[in-house]
Structure formats: C-alpha cells, structure tokens
Amino acid sequence: MINVLFGLDEHYAKYCATTIISILRNHKVQSDQHKIHFFFLGNLSKNSKERLISLNQIQPFEYSFLEVDTKEFIGLPKTPAHISSIATYNRLLTTRLLPKHVNKIIYLDCDLILNGDIDKIWNLDISNYLLAAVKDSHIEDYFNAGVIFLNLKSLRDFNFYSKWKDFIIKHPDISKIKNADQDILNAVITKGKVLFLPGYYNYRQYRPPMDGKMIVIHYCSCKPWEILCWYNKYLKGLYWQYTDVNPWKINSKINRFLSYIKSFKFLFNINRLIIFLTIRLFKDETRHRFREKFMRKNNTLI
C-alpha cells in the first residue's frame, strides 16, 4: 500500500482534489501493494469528504480522515509564505495522529500536481534517513516541505513530536519565523538525516526548466487560480488539464473568475509583487538570478 498524506482545511480541499486526480491518472496499480491510501489530515465538512471520496471513480483507493486539534498550534504565526492558513502546521502532527502500522508516507502540499508515477517517490530508499526532500534554493541544507517522504518509524524513534514542541517552548520569538512549519521542520530535523533529492521531485517554477523530468510540479509562489500568476502557458496548462473532473468544478468560467477576484490580495504582498514584475520584465536567465539574490538578501521564500 502506498501511503499519501495531505494537510488541508476546507478552503484547500478543492485544490487537493486536483492533486489527487493527477496522482491517480499517472499511477499504475500492478498489485494490491501498489494501491494508494490517502490520509487527509485536517477538519473538513461532510460535503468536502464526500467530494474527495468520489474521485475513486478514476481509480479505487483507500482513505482516512483525521481530525486536528488546532489548539496544538496556538501562538504559531500564519504567514503568506505557505497557504495563509493554520492548516499548514497539520503535518507537524503526523507521527502523533497516523496509525502506528504506517511506517512511511509521502506528504504533499495541495498546490501541486504529479507529472509522473508516484511510485518513483515511494520506491526511494529512506531507511537511513528521517525524510527525503528537495533543497530550497536560497539557504544551504534547507529543504522545501511541499514534498517530503517521511520515515515515520524513525521519526517516532526520534521523538519528533516532542522535539518540535520543545523547540517552540525554547524560542519565545517563534512568531518571527518566515516560513511557518517549514522553518520548524528544518530546525528540528537532525542534519545528515535528510536525503536530498534532485529538483525534479519538487519542481518549482522559478527554477530552470526540466523538460521531461519533472515528477512533481509545485506551484508554490503563485497559484494557477490567481489572476497575476506568472507561469508559462505550458505549466498552467498542465495544471488545468487535471481539473476536468474536479468535484468543485474549479475550471468553470464562474469559479475561475471568483478565484481571480479573491486573489487580488496578491497585490498587497510587496515581496511577491516585486518577483512578479521582475519575471514579467526580464528574460529567464536574468529573472532566475534576480530571484536568487533577492531571496538571500531577505532570507525569505515566496
């Protein structure tokens, strides 16, 4: 059984559906061992649960919905770097809430699609690591938490839950962190216990193109449903091709229009606006170099 985890809330359930569609359409079930079990970590309505379950018409899968006590996250900041929702911290409860028999699981953000078979991640050997992830671009030995292959057995032995709780207690200025739970994960996980993967396991649009190799496409800076999204037509097209059977019908003209209207808050994030303008005004090589310099100077991810 291939275990896949999402940390989400009511708002992101509809985008999670698109991620699931992309997983199922790119995955070949060769035996019962290759079937997928989706774990949904977050507080969802009955209607949202039923819509997510309905996707089994594409390919049968198993599922579990796990409720989250948000009191666990009191005092932790909401940041624009992730999803501007407390649900971004849900993955910190993985070792505490998931069944003990689940020894490894692939965590995925809800703003990405699979462009290849999820087997390519599941078959990685992480027996000597706590997790596997792709490096982020602006800080040495710092990983992006949007795609992480978790060795749950080792993380339990590592007492991960207690360690991140202790970290928060020892850092009363925790509200100053820029990248929410991603910063906490990078601070707590022991150096040398992360298997760093090639960039095509978590391709982000500000990196140089990797045609034909991108297993995961992660729309982490701006979302395809945002009005000022700067992705090229190819990457945006890849996303929307997986929305055709989305139960929320996010690809309908009216829903896309409503999403664009809501995304106008994008204009009030000065960091993201600067990057947007740079990408629009300069050629690929120049804009990649600018972004790297800007990120290092501001020590932030957008």
**Least confident interval from 101-110, 191-200, 201-210:** 201-210
Full set of structural domains in the chain with CATH: 2-200 (3.90.550.10)
According to DSSP, the residues that pair with 60 across neighbouring strands are: none
Higher pLDDT, 286 or 70: 70
Task: Report whether pLDDT(168) > 90.
Answer: no
Q: Give tens-digit pLDDT for 233-264.
A: 788 889 999 999 999 988 776 766 666 566 55
Q: What is the DSSP string of the chain?
A: -EEEEEE--TTTHHHHHHHHHHHHHH----SGGG-EEEEEES---HHHHHHHHGGGGTS--EEEEE---GGGGTTPPP-TTTTSSGGGGGGGGHHHHS-TT--EEEEE-SSEEESS-THHHHTS--TTSSEEEEEPSSSTT-EEEEEEEEEHHHHHHTTHHHHHHHHHHH-TTGGG-SSHHHHHHHHHSPTT-EEEEPGGGSEETTSPP-TTT-SEEE--SS-TTSTT----HHHHHHHHTT-TT-TT-TTSHHHHHHHHHHGGGGGG-HHHHHHHHHHHHS-HHHHHHHHHHHHHHHT---
Q: How far apart are CA 17 and CA 247, in angstroms?
A: 8
Q: How confident is the model at residue 115 (pLDDT cuts 50, 70, 90)?
A: very high
Q: Give tens-digit pLDDT for 64-107.
A: 999 999 888 877 876 554 445 788 899 999 999 999 999 999 99
Task: Report whether pLDDT(283) > 80.
Answer: no
pTM of the model: 0.84
In this structure, the dihedral spanned by the alpha carbons of residues 224, 225, 229 and 234, taken in order and rounded to 10 degrees, is 30
Q: How confident is the model at residue 135 (pLDDT cuts 50, 70, 90)?
A: very high
Residue 127 structure tokens? 């027996």
